[in-house]
Structure 1
């Protein structure tokens, strides 16, 4: 699935020449794709979907993947203490809600 590492690194504000975390970031991208597929109960495909259980990598789906990767990159542990967290309005759930199959 075509999501360029350089584009993700730009979103994360990671210098393009810094390759020290490329493997970690790529792992987050793959996990985010998997999360989107599970959430929407569809398989991500390049180009236009040809089957009902497929979903194209459209701009909103890409943005949801970017948001997931950025969240996991910034929050590398399962628990954060001493902070107040809230879900971003119009975040991942909103970007994907209409794609979920019922």
Structure 2
């Protein structure tokens, strides 16, 4: 189960100054994963084909999204050489996506 404490551990964040920001990213990441896979996220065992449980791979995808958004808060970075890094989230969720 993912909660704010686990997300903060993943981000290596101590203290509570960033809790509101992190909680916003966490909720957005859950929503993003649900929409990406075209399913409703449930913490219990999925009851139907329109539901998806929070299995370890789904949880990891959520944590990776939160980490990415937390570290990269702006859409553009000026003054650096940039290279696209493949995001593991897509791979973690690929087989769960409905085509």
Report if TM-score (shorter chain) is over 0.5.
yes
Q: Secondary structure at the match of 2:90?
A: helix
Q: What's the TM-score, normalizing by structure 2?
A: 0.93
Q: 5+ residue gaps in structure 2?
A: none
User: Alignment length, in residue pairs?
Assistant: 98
| Structure 2 Cα separation of the partners of residues 11 and 42 of structure 1 | 25
Aligned to 1:45: 42
| Structure 2 Cα separation of the partners of residues 88 and 5 of structure 1 | 26
Aligned to 1:65: 62
| Structure 1 Cα separation of the partners of residues 19 and 81 of structure 2 | 28
| Structure 1 Cα separation of the partners of residues 86 and 98 of structure 2 | 23
Q: CA deviation at 1:51?
A: 1.1
| Structure 1 Cα separation of the partners of residues 56 and 19 of structure 2 | 23
Q: 5+ residue gaps in structure 1?
A: none
Aligned to 1:86: 84
| Structure 2 Cα separation of the partners of residues 5 and 46 of structure 1 | 15
| Structure 2 Cα separation of the partners of residues 98 and 27 of structure 1 | 26
Q: What's the TM-score, normalizing by structure 1?
A: 0.90
| Structure 2 Cα separation of the partners of residues 83 and 43 of structure 1 | 38
| Structure 2 Cα separation of the partners of residues 22 and 37 of structure 1 | 22
Q: CA deviation at 1:86?
A: 2.3
| Structure 2 Cα separation of the partners of residues 46 and 22 of structure 1 | 22
